[in-house]
Amino acid sequence: MRSPRRFGAFEQLEDRSLPSSFGVAWADPGHMTLSFVPDGTATPTGPSSLFASLTAAGTTTAWEREILRAFQTWAVNANINIGLVADGGQALGTVGAVQGDARFGDIRIAAAPISADEAAAASPFSWTGTTFAGDVTFSNAVPYRIGNVASAYDIFSVALHEAGHTLGLDHSTAPGSATNATYAYHAQLTASDIAALRALYGARLPDEFDLLGPNDTRATASAMVKDATVGAYVADGDLTTLGDVDGYKFKAGALTTITLQAKGLSLLQARVSVYDSTGKLVASAAAQDSFNNDITLNLALANGATYFIKVESATSDVFGIGSYRLTADPNNKAAKPLRTPPVLDAHTNDTLA
Ligand SMILES: [Zn+2]
């Protein structure tokens, strides 16, 4: 039997001139981002080989999903949203914003040489830190698989442990904790893990609409507010539990575009359904995965009539929870009558007559 191996400690990635510590929450945990660094991206111990290193575990989509699922498993327990963003390949630790740097995620996932007895390492948030904060480096020298496979590390279990560090949690000695210092397979968090997370971030709270009262039905649907600058109805909401249903109403245009944006905001897989004033379903669409989780519906509706939008989870796993921005644009340009193309030369003056 393989002897348990120690997980990585944050020192591997930490800028030693700016020591950070655990126990500090991210500045804006509701708007965090994550990116997978392209192979060849510079790290302190050599170029990243994330994609090459994890290819034995399965397809890119499969192992990326396991890492996202690990972060999301923490996030759903607090007011934390982690949106997937592109990574520009700048060196880890590049000078920039600790959170909100547009070139890459707050959390960057890489693989590179780390200490021989470690599977991965992660850096917590630090006010005085660098863009290293949040970054996770998997070892490029140990075997990874998806699931509890002998003589290999389970990607989800390792990512779950490192995500705890990224969110500011130190090692725990509580039985079964995902942040135990020694490797073990974990299917989920323990109650002590969730308590430790909530001690830093609090519990996940309903969005501003749900705080005013349930808006699950047409009778209680929240009126969307029209944004004067864009001329569209906008609502920033959150599916806070798998059972949460958010209802909205708005006045339609003849052609209305309804968009639920989740990409870059959270890992939510939502379903959007549109009903007319009699409760008849007009249209419905769901995100298929957390990589492409925006939804767009272009609908021909009764101009000036009130319609209802229902937002609910499209999946019963952790990806059924997260924040989103819902937009209903009744001014779809396609709704305007087509202009007759200007006639430059109708050939009515081609002759002298
Ligand atoms: Zn650790």
Segment 269-279, tens digit of pLDDT: 999 999 999 99
Segment 110-150, tens digit of pLDDT: 999 987 777 888 888 877 678 999 999 999 999 999 999 99
Q: Tell me which DSSP letter residue 281 carries.
A: E
C-alpha 274 – ligand 1 centre gap (Å): 46
C-alpha 64 – ligand 1 centre gap (Å): 20
C-alpha 3 – ligand 1 centre gap (Å): 17
C-alpha 4 – ligand 1 centre gap (Å): 13
Segment 262-313, tens digit of pLDDT: 999 999 999 999 999 999 999 999 999 999 999 999 999 999 999 999 999 9
Contacts of 349 (CB under 8 A, 6+ apart): none
User: Could you report how far apart the first and last alpha carbons of the chain are, in Å?
Assistant: 101
C-alpha 104 – ligand 1 centre gap (Å): 24
Which residue type sits at 142? Answer: V
C-alpha 53 – ligand 1 centre gap (Å): 20
158 to each of 55, 75, 120, how far by Cα in Å? 16, 16, 7
C-alpha 58 – ligand 1 centre gap (Å): 24
Ligand 1 (ion): which residues have CB within 5 A?
Answer: 7
Distance CA 339, CA 330 (A): 19
C-alpha 193 – ligand 1 centre gap (Å): 13
C-alpha 179 – ligand 1 centre gap (Å): 6
What does the pLDDT read at residue 216? 82
Give the pLDDT band (50/70/90) at residue 20: low
C-alpha 241 – ligand 1 centre gap (Å): 29
Segment 211-256, tens digit of pLDDT: 888 888 888 999 999 988 888 999 999 999 999 999 999 999 999 9
Map tokens 């639920």 to a residue: 260
What does the pLDDT read at residue 333? 58
Mean pLDDT for 3-21 is 41
C-alpha 167 – ligand 1 centre gap (Å): 12
The verdict on pTM exceeding 0.85 is yes
What does the pLDDT read at residue 6? 44
Mean pLDDT for 54-71 is 97
What does the pLDDT read at residue 13? 34
What does the pLDDT read at residue 295? 97
Asked if the model's pLDDT at residue 167 lies above 90, the reply is yes
Domains of the chain (ranges, CATH numbers) = 10-201 (3.40.390.10), 208-329 (2.60.120.380)
What does the pLDDT read at residue 204? 95
